[in-house]
Structure 1
Amino acid sequence: AEYHQGDRHRVETPRDRIIANCATGEAQHLDVRTGEVSTSPSLAAAACGVNANRKLVAKEFLGRETGGRYGPVSRIAVADDGNLRTYDVLDDGAIIAATIHDANDDATERLTSAVLTYSHNLPEADIFSTASLSRSVVPDGCRSGHGG
């Protein structure tokens, strides 16, 4: 799950929760398995849009798609030394789909993701504080396999 409000971002996976201020490059990460909290500028870079903390070797605008479930998207592709990544991005900046292929062998697909639900409303008011990392804010209907 990903949440955005201005420069503030929150990302949750079954094993990680990250909050980031994309303007300042500050971020905190909670490892759900161990309870350990850490900070690093690379965490903010990973949580703030199209960034895998690797130097890009190519980037390309692939065009606009208009028939999407959540509205028109811009399709972009980026490549680094290990991955070829394609993203569908809504006009408000939300990434609603991503595909990652290996750039070093036969372009094996590593990951495909797509939005299950999309809303302009945040689940709670306080989801960008360090204290909020102690709880999941993913809606119950989206928690299949989530460590919440």
Structure 2
Amino acid sequence: MTRENELDIGELRQIAGWLEAAGVGFIEIARGRSVARLTLDHPTAREPAAKVETASLERPAPMQVKACHAGRFLRTHPGRATALVEAGASVRAGDIVAILQVAELCLPVVTPADGVLGEWLVDEGTVVGFGAALASLAERST
């Protein structure tokens, strides 16, 4: 039996199963003085969107980092003093660049592709909805 402020391994196993089923690769849970961070190496991949042929004269739409959940936007983890990633940093697909906080739950915001993180489009602490553009993402120069 666990104390009131401890995390139960059975609960963690169940949460890990939910994460895998939902295709989520990261979660951090805090209860009392206990904190557990679960990271799945290979979250279930979702089907990629069908590629659409475009005319060579069209400019590609700018890439953006978007919210995959509704929540309060945070560039800094509540338990840390520094931002997860600063604008201008080189990032890879799947890198955690920010957090969406729902009550005590912190959900990761990940980059959709490799590139350079551009400007933040949302202020720290702003409540955002699903699909909200959070940051711009530029291709790396070669």
Query: TM-score, with normalisation over the residues of structure 2?
Result: 0.23
Going by fraction, where is strand more abundant, 1 or 2? Answer: 1
Q: Which has the larger radius of gyration?
A: 2
Higher relative contact order (CA 8 A, sep 6+): 2
